[in-house]
Amino acid sequence: MLLNPAIMALILVSFVVLLMLLIAAGFAIQLLRHWDMSSGSERQLRLERRTYLISTLLAWAFSAELVSLLLYVYNAESMSGQFVGAMCAIGVLNVNEWGWPTLFLKMGIFFSGAAWLILNALDNRGYDYPLIRIKYWLLLLLVPLVAAETWLQLLYFLDLQPDIITSCCGSLFSADESGVAGDMSAVSPSLAMWGLYISGALVLLIGLFFHRTGKGGLLFGLFAIAAFVIALVAIVSVISPYIYAHPEHHCPFCILKSGHGFAGYLLYIPLFAATAWALGVAVVSPWRHVASLREAVATGGNRLVRRSLVMFFLFYLACALYVYNSELVMQGVWW
């Protein structure tokens, strides 16, 4: 096992977050068994007071998960020089079979945690806590995910062997390779660009429709997820080659390097934030018919959709600028 401050911090954060969620899960079980808003008993009052404490605890826990996701990618990128064959984070994540599942779990927990915090904020604005049972059931579903992520991450770091020869991004993200990475690289630039344009236009139009009418929140969330996936495919297929000015270089991680102006952060941070807030719109909008939440849904939903649209706009603007300013010319050659 390789040890460095970033790895130790990631392991520590994961165990602390898991401990926080286990504490919250214990409270959730008590609450689901005994919560009764019509009761004025001491136990009910104690549950109501502890709800705010647990909410604060979970806000810190899920914020730490966001930092953990960023640090995990940064650490993989920074360790690329320690493994033979690795040119970027791809090679480090390929050192053993636990690297990629850990990354995907961290991404899933980030989106799930963001959606839960938004639902929790909405519920706290209702005087009768109408969603309290739903949100704590959802919290219980999140605990196994966090436990699995903690365990997989520990296995990944424990099995990091510096004498292993790993594969570089050039071999993985190649149109000739089989698998998801190869399939994404093999998507034609024209198809990827049209998909990016059309999905971007649709998600922006649906978001504006929701902002204007208050309808279509679930549809906006679903389209945002589709736009997120299409955007990742487009980054691999066409945006990254434009940034590298090399038509065969598709790696979605090398764009995080300083040599490319940290372009990846300018793409990924707005994209992830936009998708998380869009999921928040989808989570919030179904509860407009609850009397105590009607106004909170209207104001909160509009605020979330504005944030999401601004982030989506920044993401598509960054993509357009990288294509426009690139020295690579693909029009008329590859598409």
Q: Which of 166, 190, 210 is the last residue of a domain?
A: 166
The answer to whether the beta carbons of residues 284 and 122 sit under 8 Å apart is yes
Question: What torsion, rounded to 10 degrees, do the Cα atoms 52, 58, 64, 66 define?
Answer: -110
pLDDT tens sequence for the chain (335 residues): 567 888 999 999 999 999 999 999 999 999 999 888 888 788 888 888 899 899 899 999 999 988 899 899 888 888 877 887 777 788 888 888 899 999 999 999 999 999 999 999 999 888 888 999 999 999 999 999 999 999 999 999 998 887 777 777 766 776 666 667 777 777 888 889 999 999 999 999 999 999 999 888 999 999 999 999 999 999 998 899 999 888 888 888 888 888 888 898 899 999 999 999 999 999 999 998 888 888 889 899 999 999 999 999 999 999 999 998 888 777 665 55
Domain match, 139 and 175 both? no
Domain match, 9 and 138 both? yes
The answer to whether the beta carbons of residues 175 and 186 sit under 8 Å apart is yes
Domain region containing 318? 170-334
The answer to whether the beta carbons of residues 122 and 304 sit under 8 Å apart is no
Domain match, 280 and 154 both? no
Q: How many domains does the chain have?
A: 2
Domain match, 240 and 134 both? no
Q: How far apart are CA 249 and CA 239, in angstroms?
A: 10
Domain match, 189 and 119 both? no
Q: Which of 146, 166, 186 is the last residue of a domain?
A: 166
Domain match, 109 and 216 both? no
**So what's the pLDDT on residue 83?**
80
Domain match, 181 and 69 both? no
Domain match, 149 and 192 both? no
**So what's the pLDDT on residue 178?**
66
User: Where do runs of H (alpha helix) occur along the chain?
Assistant: 5-34, 42-78, 89-93, 99-124, 132-158, 169-172, 180-186, 189-213, 217-234, 240-244, 263-284, 294-325
Q: Which of 135, 166, 197 is the last residue of a domain?
A: 166
Domain match, 131 and 205 both? no
**So what's the pLDDT on residue 121?**
92
The answer to whether the beta carbons of residues 98 and 156 sit under 8 Å apart is yes
Q: What is the pTM of this model?
A: 0.88
